[in-house]
Structure 1
Amino acid sequence: MYRTLLFCLLTASLSAQTDTLYNLPGATVTGFRDEAPSYRVGASVSTLGTRDLELIPTGDLLPAMNRLPGVRFEQRAPGSYRISVRGSTLRSPFGVRNIKIYWNGIPFTEPGGDTNLNFLDVTNVDRVELIRGPAGSVYGAGTAGTLLLSTDTLAGVGEGYAEGGSYGFFRAGTQVQGRAGNGSYQVRLAHQQTDGYREHSALRRQTAQVSTRWKAGHERTLSLHALYSRLGYDLPGGLNAEQYATDRRQARPGSVATNASINYDNLLLGITQDWARGRWSNQTTVYGTGFYFDHPFNFDYKREANLGTGGRTAFDYTVPLAGSVLKVSVGAEAQLQYRMANNFGNADGAPGELNFSDEITSRQQLLFGQATWDLGAWRFAAGASLSGLSYYVDRTYDAAAAPATTRSNIATVLAPRASILRDFGGYSVYASVSSGFSPPTLDEFRTNEGSLNTGLAPERGVNYEVGTKGSRGALSYELALFYLRLNNAISTYSDARGTQLFRNAGSTDQRGAELAVTYQPASWLEVYGSYTWHDFAYDRYDRDGEDYSGNRLPGTAPHVVNLEATLRSGAGWYATVTENYTDAIPLNDPNTVYGEAYHLVRARAGWRGAWGRTTVDLFVGGSNLLDETMSFGNDLNPQFGGRYYQPAPGRTGFFGVRVGG
């Protein structure tokens, strides 16, 4: 380990961009209704810009997000993503849960708590802002964090790009924009495909985004975002230890014959009003969405049609108080979703006999309020929210029983938060306490084999955190220490068929330290590093006569180190080297099976400069340059076949060109 870490510290990477690779305390953040430098916000908040997201061109957020402390972005198969923030993988066998996600202010997370992050291409994101820890006082459910994704619809230039690489990887896209009257518009098109490293792991995705912004009077601006996504990818499935050692590129037996795969068509429309008059301002967003979902898996076949709508509004009032400034924010959010879901048998990759058919209505409501008081060098913030969630399932057909209806009302939850920060001029120290909650998601309440898990209780927890962040000369840093006590923690496991199920796993103790540092001694050299220590364990957990109290939580690495070095030349040449060390990860409750520790080294080199009026970026690079064996997205607690492993590719290469004007 240490030889590789030293290698990355001494290796320079070159990038022609002028912005920093990782936006530390100087970056402006907006997460808690702020427009303030990060070091003036009493919370763990990290931001990523366009150059960070494009640094290693994999067509997803994985490399950039994994540089952040406290984060593990996983890819079980091309297009199948999971995000773990402070251990949230425990209840996410697939998809993104326990993290609230917004795209351009539009609630991207469904009212039931699941998020289809794979609807987005990197092209659809210019900026990432991640709040680590509960943010329920403003955003509602989620004990892990909140992810704010945004597109800049006014800045930038038109461009086109094409990239290729190992295992049939290819992506291409274009961005065009202009002005019309008192507004602007932008169109982004992207195509991505790969044959995949493993058998039966191909992906195809197309996205089309149209964004506009225009003045609707002196005090009002309107923005519209439309996103269409067409996505299809194969699911090779998990391997057991013997299969993993014998042939890591094989698919799980049966996955090919049953055409296990995910297929989506999704449309999202959202419009936002920004209004300001005197001391008042308001931002209101309304949206509508719909998708068609076709999912053959190894034993069954699922087809769903979904319609959703909702909105969010927040009013801010700023007033002088005691020689300083008080800002009060109040707002509301509501979401409604209707889903028609049919489950069939899988007849060699086609729908067989109908097993059951459901009509599902999900409703989520949120009221929140917050006050922030800037009193010289001190900053005080306090807020709270009230949140409610309900499911109504009308089972119109059941091959094994009589049709029935089921209603689940999650009790309204109060989630308070308070923080205090002291600014010492360029750096700060803060402390915060926040209450978090996370009710069962729709896919946890209604599982694939047809059961309705009405006994599953919401997670509740309290997070205590202290930290410091700031900059001095060439050095910028942020450090957070936290303790999260979680009750009724939801854990995943699989039955004898391999169907993912869920249960409450008692209480957990989650302690951690998260550090990020950037050092830039000269304009041509920049070094970045982050370190995560997570000591996550069950406090009290008894299951089937076995006591797992004190065992480590599955899915969380105790230690993660990221290192990055950057070199630039005045002639436009650049190169980049990044290192990610991830410690061994427990994969089951007894802690008898672990995913291997690994070093993941990536690099990129190229030239960026002007060619007449055109900007050109030519590059080549590679990933997993040490050819490490790893499973980058393990399955947790499988009860049949020991299928823990989702193998990641060995050494790969990529190349590409980006042209702007």
Structure 2
Amino acid sequence: MKPGGRQILAVRQQRRSGIPRIPFANRSALAFAALVLASAGARAADPPGTAVAAATAETLPDVVVSATRSEQRRFDAPAAVDSVPVDPLRSATPLVNLSEVLAGVPGVAVRDRQNYSQDLQLAVRGFGTRSTFGVRGVRLYVDGIPATMPDGQGQASTADLANASRVEVLRGPFAQMYGNASGGVVQVFTPDPPKDGFSGRASTGFGSDGQWQAGIALAGGNDRLGGSLDAWTYQTDGYRDHSAARRYQLNAKVVAQPASGTRVTGQFNYFNQPLAQDPLGLTRAQADANPRQAVSAATQFDTGKNVEQTQAGVVVDHQLTGTDSVSARLYGGTRNLYQRLGFSGAAPNSAGGIVDLDRTYGGAALSWSRRTATAAGLPLLWSAGLEANGMRDGRNGYVNQNGTQGALRRDETNTATDLGAFAQFDWTFHPAWQLVGGVRASRVRLGIDDHFINAASPDDSGSATYSNVSPVLGVVWHALDSLNVYANLGRGFETPTLTEVAYGPGGVGSNLGLQASTSRQGEIGIKWQAAGQRLEAALFDADSHDEVVPQSNNAGRTVYQNVSGVHRRGFELGWRGGFLGEVGTPGKGGGSRIEAGLAYTWLDAYFGDSFVNAQGQTVAAGKRLPGTARHSLGADLSWRPAAPLTLGAEMRVDSRVYADDLNTQAAPGYAVFNLRAGYEFRIGPTRLYVFGRIDNLTDRRYIGSVIVNEANGRYFEPAPGRRFFLGLRAAL
């Protein structure tokens, strides 16, 4: 072994076992890390006025599980993965939507449409931008349980951010290990109950456009059994006309450790959205004239939806031996949706302007992992698993008689199943080199059982099965203790959703002949962190074939087709750091510090081959993929002039976004600025945090999101002007 090799190996083994790695040759850095850790641990206990002069906890090594499905430092993960900490007490934002916490992640576009009937628009490296409702092309998980259905469609609205601890975002080839529709993976994690007593938290807040939020969280336990319960509500009158919404959510979590090496986590979630009006999109002229307006069809047909979802699940982790462990999950739920669309759907061959859906879903998974070492003593991790998920939709369509339910136009039972098996290894074959690879085999089956058959509506019944093998291979060079270089290659696929196979060409029959999209992806990146600073950069390239795009629209029935040669390539840059100020005197305001972050994305996404669109027009090769911005920049700055007070500023910049395949309609680029402030104090044993924020400080008029290829030419959803939110939180 070369000189110093044993010392390097010891550090590598520490890293692989989850112990944060500290530069062994830098005593000043060691002292700095000790100061940071001590300050972070004391921060919650120090009374107001105590000096706090340390870098933000966000600059410390954070644990992630996304890339290799086992705990490791984010810095050492062989992929582009971010872990965003969420502090339910001291976040100066309502914590209602993922858009509030993911603005600082490069490669991610998450747009709050101000339309709670259609959910967020969430895309990773250009995957998911074409979804007109919900999340498509990006897989969602909450505490390890899928929030994406087997057909690849998911909902981000049910995530419990008011009680979250962190959000992980995995980008690039390793996302393919999660199966169908893995352009990226977003996982929300909630904290475990305390092991030494009881805690409680309450919050409330109000803001512009009739916003009001309130919630309560209780938790307690010991080292064997603990539980938490939180409930919250949010309501708004909406920035635009006919865009009011109300939400209620209840979440429970139980963690039991009945024996050494065994952990059982039980979860229950209830989500109810009894009101979510849909103002529909606007033409560019309408958006310029009055961005708050809703089109007449919205009020005529009372567009919007009601949703109620209940879900329960259990995850069991068991340590079999000193090297082997297994994990199992079982979950199930129901989702009831009633949606009124912006047309009547009275034509005999129409699907109807009202959707009534009754869904049951569930799944199970079993995985095994072994942590061992090679003959040279270098770490080696093996993992393998099986997953099965299924859903069954009872779907009815009715004529929308100006907001009331009319005659039946659709009666189907839709099913989707997803079976997957994966195997993965993580091998440190040299103290400075790590090889990670894996393969996943997936089989997705979509089925339609049509019960509404007549002369105008023929039998749409049928099924389609999609199979795929997705390999991925990556290498990491631990060049320095503060610098990692990595590269990955992989292949994935994305099936059509049940919505996209529902109608065949001409609106007759189903479209189960639609093919799954396949992609080849690669990336190369670097990660550097030292002295409270973190810098990451990545170059990526993805080529997709058989991408699903609209072919025609007839009487509310959108027919989809496959096109090849869709290219997504780009560059990501992320930086975050903390700067120490002077240490203050206890009782006299404490010390000051500055924390800042920046996330930049350059994305070149375009059609490589020409095709005919839904309007019968030829889309030339080279046209930009609609819904994608070429340049995106997010930046934030936080200044703590004194320990109890924090001031912050945020900036978001997006370049022009095309709304249609022909690139004839576009939302102009924009820059918006936000301000926030928070103040923490105590009353006896209770910690209180009061905060306020002003969004869109300059009252900029801009388009917040576009509805890609909207059939009526109403592509644009205006963002709110200047608005405020004030909140108060208390923790015991």
Q: TM-score range by the shorter chain?
A: over 0.9
In the alignment, residue 86 of structure 1 is paired with which amino acid?
Answer: R
Partner of 1:188: 230
Summarize the alignment of residues 619-658 of structure 1 with structure 2, pairs less than 5 Å apart. 619-640=691-712, 642-658=713-729
Is residue 289 of structure 2 the alignment partner of residue 246 of structure 1?
yes
Is residue 247 of structure 2 the alignment partner of residue 205 of structure 1?
yes
Aligned counterpart in structure 2 of residue 301 of structure 1, from 348, 351, 354:
354
Aligned counterpart in structure 2 of residue 462 of structure 1, from 520, 530, 538:
520
In the alignment, residue 154 of structure 1 is paired with which amino acid?
Answer: P
Would the alpha carbon gap of residues 609 and 103 (structure 1) be closer, same or farther in structure 2, given more than 3 Å must change? same
- State the Cα distance separating 1:450 from its structure 2 match: 8.3
Partner of 2:421: 367
Paired with 1:200 and 1:540, the residues of 2 have a C-alpha distance of 40
- State the Cα distance separating 1:39 from its structure 2 match: 2.0
In the alignment, residue 365 of structure 2 is paired with which amino acid?
Answer: R
CA contact (8 A) 2:130 2:627 kept: no
Q: Which has more radius of gyration?
A: 2
Secondary structure in 1 matching 2:101: helix
Paired with 1:208 and 1:291, the residues of 2 have a C-alpha distance of 15
In the alignment, residue 150 of structure 1 is paired with which amino acid?
Answer: F
Would the alpha carbon gap of residues 295 and 171 (structure 1) be closer, same or farther in structure 2, given more than 3 Å must change? same
Secondary structure in 2 matching 1:152: coil
Superposed CA deviations along residues 478-501 of structure 1, whole A, max 9, x for unmatched, are 111011111112234773656655
Per mean C-alpha deviation after superposition, the further-off stretch among 324-333 and 440-449 is 440-449
Residue segments in structure 1 that go unaligned for 5+ positions in a row: 1-14
Paired with 1:427 and 1:501, the residues of 2 have a C-alpha distance of 49
TM-score by length of 1: 0.93
- State the Cα distance separating 1:193 from its structure 2 match: 0.1
In the alignment, residue 465 of structure 1 is paired with which amino acid?
Answer: E
Superposed CA deviations along residues 586-645 of structure 1, whole A, max 9, x for unmatched, are 1111212211111121111121122221101011211011111122121112343x2111
Partner of 2:23: none
Paired with 1:221 and 1:356, the residues of 2 have a C-alpha distance of 46
CA contact (8 A) 1:25 1:471 kept: no
Higher relative contact order, structure no. (Cα contacts within 8 Å, ≥ 6 residues apart): 1
Partner of 1:43: 79
Summarize the alignment of residues 88-167 of structure 1 with structure 2, pairs less than 5 Å apart. 88-135=127-174, 137-155=176-194, 157-167=199-209
- State the Cα distance separating 1:25 from its structure 2 match: 8.0
Paired with 2:294 and 2:328, the residues of 1 have a C-alpha distance of 47
In the alignment, residue 651 of structure 1 is paired with which amino acid?
Answer: R
CA contact (8 A) 1:25 1:476 kept: no
More strand by share: 1
- State the Cα distance separating 1:125 from its structure 2 match: 2.8
Secondary structure in 1 matching 2:75: helix
Between the two proteins, what is the percent identity of the paired residues?
26
Secondary structure in 1 matching 2:305: strand
- State the Cα distance separating 1:256 from its structure 2 match: 1.2
Paired with 1:527 and 1:136, the residues of 2 have a C-alpha distance of 28
Residue segments in structure 2 that go unaligned for 5+ positions in a row: 1-39, 45-51, 344-352, 582-592
Partner of 1:77: 114
Partner of 1:535: 604
Aligned counterpart in structure 2 of residue 613 of structure 1, from 662, 680, 685:
685
CA contact (8 A) 1:343 1:357 kept: yes
CA contact (8 A) 1:167 1:194 kept: yes
Secondary structure in 1 matching 2:625: coil
- State the Cα distance separating 1:222 from its structure 2 match: 0.6
Paired with 1:126 and 1:492, the residues of 2 have a C-alpha distance of 39
Summarize the alignment of residues 208-247 of structure 1 with structure 2, pairs less than 5 Å apart. 208-231=250-273, 232-247=275-290
Paired with 1:57 and 1:137, the residues of 2 have a C-alpha distance of 33
Summarize the alignment of residues 342-357 of structure 1 with structure 2, pairs less than 5 Å apart. 342-357=396-411
- State the Cα distance separating 1:506 from its structure 2 match: 2.1
Please tell me the root mean square deviation across aligned C-alpha atoms, in Å: 2.2
Paired with 1:245 and 1:288, the residues of 2 have a C-alpha distance of 45
Is residue 478 of structure 2 the alignment partner of residue 420 of structure 1?
no
Would the alpha carbon gap of residues 90 and 499 (structure 1) be closer, same or farther in structure 2, given more than 3 Å must change? farther
Paired with 1:571 and 1:308, the residues of 2 have a C-alpha distance of 48
In the alignment, residue 531 of structure 1 is paired with which amino acid?
Answer: Y
Is residue 65 of structure 2 the alignment partner of residue 30 of structure 1?
yes
Secondary structure in 2 matching 1:167: helix
Summarize the alignment of residues 148-547 of structure 1 with structure 2, pairs less than 5 Å apart. 148-155=187-194, 157-179=199-221, 182-231=224-273, 232-277=275-320, 278-299=322-343, 300-321=353-374, 322-375=376-429, 376-398=431-453, 400-401=455-456, 404=459, 406-423=461-478, 424-446=480-502, 452-492=510-550, 495=553, 500-522=558-580, 524-543=593-612, 544=616, 546-547=618-619
Paired with 2:167 and 2:92, the residues of 1 have a C-alpha distance of 14
TM-score by length of 2: 0.85
Would the alpha carbon gap of residues 421 and 283 (structure 1) be closer, same or farther in structure 2, given more than 3 Å must change? same
Partner of 1:551: 623
Aligned counterpart in structure 2 of residue 54 of structure 1, from 91, 96, 112:
91
Paired with 1:339 and 1:260, the residues of 2 have a C-alpha distance of 22
Secondary structure in 1 matching 2:241: coil
- State the Cα distance separating 1:377 from its structure 2 match: 1.6
Would the alpha carbon gap of residues 24 and 488 (structure 1) be closer, same or farther in structure 2, given more than 3 Å must change? farther
Per mean C-alpha deviation after superposition, the further-off stretch among 203-212 and 141-150 is 141-150
In the alignment, residue 62 of structure 1 is paired with which amino acid?
Answer: S
Summarize the alignment of residues 544-583 of structure 1 with structure 2, pairs less than 5 Å apart. 544=616, 546-583=618-655
CA contact (8 A) 1:131 1:147 kept: yes
